[in-house]
């Protein structure tokens, strides 16, 4: 056993006690951990409390966030979560409410390396699509899932495809949610902008 850590047997209990989860919700919470450890309840509660204060989350909102991404309980708030939140907010010029909206819509962003993943993606998109800071901010706030798509498997290939076919580069973001097959058909078959 790792010091300060209990294995999954405590996960469902934590979800039930902290969030009032029923058995089905607690089971889902535990399953989403994919066999990973969770901190002891006191540590997990501190992470929840810190996130709740930083993002001004209601009890229902912190429950939604943690049930969607329970791995966040295993991260250090001080050394991982807080710096990532600050960097994202500063990079995009997000207000407190915009930061909250982005994180609630895309809780997985808390698990990403800011420098290697988020910043690299934002810099690439801004440069390649010639977006202003404001345009980039607006895109991410309107569709936070943009932060979740892979730079190497989604954005770069689609940008190359649009350039090769002479299609608008903005399709890379505006059509980001399309499957690869649908995007390929749109680009190769024309489609409308």
Condensed to tens digits (0 to 9), the pLDDT of residues 137-191 reads 999 999 999 999 999 999 999 999 999 999 999 999 999 999 999 999 999 985 5
pTM: 0.86
Contact status, residue 168 vs residue 128, Cβ threshold 8 Å:
no
Retrieve residue 69's tokens. Answer: 């991404």
Residue 32 lies in a domain: yes
Q: Provide CB contacts within 8 A for 7, sequence distance 6+.
A: 1, 37
Pinpoint the alpha helices (H) of 72-132. 82-92, 96-105, 120-128
Q: In total, how many domains does the chain have?
A: 1
Residue 26 lies in a domain: yes
What is the Cα–Cα distance from 117 to 18, expressed in whole angstroms?
A: 31
The C-alpha R_g of the chain, in whole angstroms, comes to 19
Residue 150 lies in a domain: no
What is the Cα–Cα distance from 5 to 40, expressed in whole angstroms?
A: 5
Q: Which domain holds residue 50?
A: 1-74
């Amino acid at each position: 056993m790792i010091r300060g850590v209990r294995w999954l047997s405590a996960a469902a209990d934590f979800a039930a006690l902290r969030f009032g989860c029923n058995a089905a919700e607690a089971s889902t919470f535990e399953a989403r951990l994919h066999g990973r450890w969770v901190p002891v309840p006191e540590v997990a509660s501190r992470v929840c409390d810190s996130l709740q204060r930083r993002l001004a989350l209601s009890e229902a909102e912190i429950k939604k966030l943690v049930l969607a991404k329970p791995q966040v309980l295993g991260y250090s708030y001080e050394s991982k979560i807080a710096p990532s939140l600050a960097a994202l907010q500063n990079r995009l010029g997000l207000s407190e409410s915009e930061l909250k909206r982005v994180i609630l819509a895309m809780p997985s962003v808390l698990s990403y390396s800011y420098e290697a993943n988020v910043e690299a993606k934002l810099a690439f998109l801004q440069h390649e699509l010639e977006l202003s800071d404001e345009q980039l901010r607006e895109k991410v706030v309107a569709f936070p899932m943009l932060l979740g798509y892979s730079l190497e498997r989604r954005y770069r290939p689609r940008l190359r495809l649009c350039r090769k076919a002479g299609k608008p580069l903005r399709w890379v973001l505006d059509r980001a949610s399309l499957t690869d097959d649908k995007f390929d058909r749109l680009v190769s078959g024309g489609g409308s902008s």
